[in-house]
Amino acid sequence: MKQKSKSPFAFVYLRVSLGLLFVLAAAFLAVLGIGQFSAQAEEEQLSSVQSSDPLIPPGFDCAQFRSLSLDKQENLRAGAIAIYCGQAQGGSPTNFSDTSELVQEMLAPLLGGTDVDVITGTDSITHPTQSETYTTSNPDNPNQIFIAYNDSRTAAGNYSGGSVSSDGGATFTRLTPNPFSTGHGTNFGDPVALYQKKTGTFYTVWLATGCGGQGMGAWTSTDGGNTWAVGACVHTGGSDDRESGWVDNDPSSPFYGRLYVSWNDFNVGGGALFVTFSDNGTTWTKVQVTSGIPFIRDVQITGDLSGNGNVYLAGMNENGGGFPHTDNNLIYKSTNGGASFTNTYTGPGFSGPGVIAVGYFACMFSDAGGYWRHEGWGEPAAYNNVVHLVYSQKGAGSDAGDVYYIRSADGGVTFGAPFKLNSDSTTRPQWQANISVSPGGDLLATWYDGRDSTSCVKGNPAVPCYAMWSRKSTDNGLTWSADGMLSDVQSPLPGQPDTSVQSTYAGDYDYGTATATKHYTSWTDGRVPIGSQSQQDVFTDSESAGGGGGGENIVLTGSARTKGTKSRVTLTWSPAENDGNIDIMRDGAVVQTTADDGSTTDNLRNASGTTHTYQVCETDGGGCSNTINVVVP
């Protein structure tokens, strides 16, 4: 871990102050408040002018906008219809003084490495919006990382985007031309990114017209995300929204290799919650989880990394939305490979984050009548029957939001008291958290954090607004380190100048994941202006699982032999410390702790014909080796 920050750690928070402070010569042009705009438009009917936007269904009757629950949907198609029907405004450019000489405020992050901008190439200010991220990697080849995100550069025909790394995240390349813009019709965005270890395949899932009008289509890659083939329709539907996905990559699981995708279907009960699963990515089995009444938002889906096959779906009852509003967290659990789900937990009500409502959604900022919609959604994670959930709630007084963590030690049935992850005493906002767990029970929670800013101005690159902060646990959530900054700079509050996208949009989620050695997280960032406007880009960073440093250079090899019912796996690694201990991990679980002397054996019975994944990790937090698959003869 890097050393820095204003945090209880014994690290110094280094800062190079802004070399140039901007004083705006003219008052900022206020954009018409969307709340009033929406109220005035509430009764509007079908426009006599037919839209040329491919996202607008031909002859769409705007009188049906609310009856179709379009006001509650997060997808970019629903946003385009809202703009067309006068229920929302599209983005608009913001004009500030020339910022070509602006010196970015550089910080020394306590956590993570160097931030990487995954948006390579150039964009115009007309369609520059990239946000809402889903990050995954190949656990057997950690050099391969894929990040999917919404990207408006080819709007209105496509809102998907992806970037790949073949060097472990040091650099990324944006996929150009975009492979997800063809094969399933018009792509509406809402990314899911998965890696299926069993077949060595990356999957990505998006909302698309080719799967029933607004269902979910898949694309696959077997070469590390560099080239993609059109896959199956994950679900054929006309009103799908906010999908999420997870894949069971533990070889010891009874459902090893199974893919899961969750979503809200607004064609059923006003937004019923569904899950579909597949072992081969081609044939999918759909399961209804809720009736749609009350409406339970699909927050995210995950599964237990210890190999027990359990799957967990986090939902949120937003109790009608708006602001102020009350939220409830819910957990649904499957123990039979997704064939059925049971509501194991419904949490107490809490005040949702925000400062203002724009239509159905609460927003974190009042700029331009309301900006950055967010109802408090977070992410679940699970390891060894312990379930974790992060989320946001309203802070005290003028504080728009704080980030909280809850933990269940009984498989999602009961949860302990909420623990506030951001330790600051300011009234600045914290929001939109994600969490990842490694196969060893190491956790990283990450969120947007405005504690070091005094104000935020939408689209103004001269006004720092937030950084990404994180907090780690190395004991499956029992205890947590101090919170520290993950990103390298304070980002301005990025604008949303794309007129085809709702003005309140800045990305609705960031899905974090982990391997045995790394946590991966990405976010919406505004540090790169186009012209004089801060706009939405995707940045990413990673943090070692377990902490520490040099052990990531450990190289592990292994072989196996069998005699009768007894098998022996011989493991060797280098370099070895010779003065410490090392954990031997088989299929994600520690099976042995031994001297770090460079070799050991793992004895198995009745294991002939099986394949096991091995990794070694230094017990002092120095790091882990590569992972290897050993076939037992």
Res. 46 pLDDT band, cuts 50 70 90: very low
Could you count the other beta carbons within 10 Å of the beta carbon of residue 21? 9
Q: Would you say residue 456 has pLDDT above 80? A: yes
Q: Would you say residue 158 has pLDDT above 90? A: yes
Check if the beta carbon of residue 85 is closer than 8 Å to that of residue 76: no
Could you count the other beta carbons within 10 Å of the beta carbon of residue 286? 16
- In the DSSP assignment, the letter for residue 308 is S
Q: What is the distance between the terminal CA atoms of the chain, rounded to a whole angstrom?
A: 40
Residue (of 192, 193, 217, 178) closest to 137 by Cα position:
193
Q: Domains of the chain, with CATH numbers?
A: 106-127+251-544 (2.120.10), 552-631 (2.60.40.10)
Q: Where are the extended beta strands (E) located within 385-515? A: 386-393, 402-408, 419-420, 430-437, 443-449, 464-473, 484-485, 491-492, 510-511, 513-514
Model confidence pLDDT, tens digit, residues 537-581: 999 999 998 644 334 468 888 899 998 999 999 998 888 876 688
Instruction: For residues 234-244, give the mean pLDDT.
Output: 98
Q: Would you say residue 18 has pLDDT above 80? A: no
Phi then psi for residue 541, to 5 deg, are: -160, 170
Model confidence pLDDT, tens digit, residues 251-308: 999 999 999 999 999 999 999 999 999 999 999 999 999 999 999 999 999 999 999 9
Mean of all residue pLDDT scores within the chain: 88
Res. 109 pLDDT band, cuts 50 70 90: low
At residue 33, the pLDDT reads 37
Instruction: For residues 428-451, give the mean pLDDT.
Output: 98
Q: How far is CA 17 from CA 10, 190, 461, 527, in A?
A: 22, 37, 15, 15
Using CA atoms, how far apart are residues 156 and 213, in angstroms rounded to an integer? 15
Do β-strands 106-107 and 533-534 pair in parallel, antiparallel, or remain unpaired?
Answer: unpaired
- Angle at 423 (CA atoms; ends 418, 426), nearest 5 degrees: 115
What percent of the chain has pLDDT above 90? 76
Using CA atoms, how far apart are residues 326 and 375, in angstroms rounded to an integer? 9
Using CA atoms, how far apart are residues 519 and 209, in angstroms rounded to an integer? 34
Using CA atoms, how far apart are residues 353 and 274, in angstroms rounded to an integer? 26
Q: Would you say residue 633 has pLDDT above 60? A: yes
Instruction: For residues 228-241, give the mean pLDDT.
Output: 98
At residue 301, the pLDDT reads 99
Model confidence pLDDT, tens digit, residues 600-631: 999 999 999 998 988 888 876 557 888 788 99
Residue 24 contacts by C-beta under 8 Å, 6 or more apart in sequence?
96, 97, 460
pTM over 0.95: no
Phi then psi for residue 474, to 5 deg, are: -105, 5
At residue 388, the pLDDT reads 99
At residue 93, the pLDDT reads 82
Could you count the other beta carbons within 10 Å of the beta carbon of residue 271? 25
- Quick check: helix, strand or coil at residue 368? helix
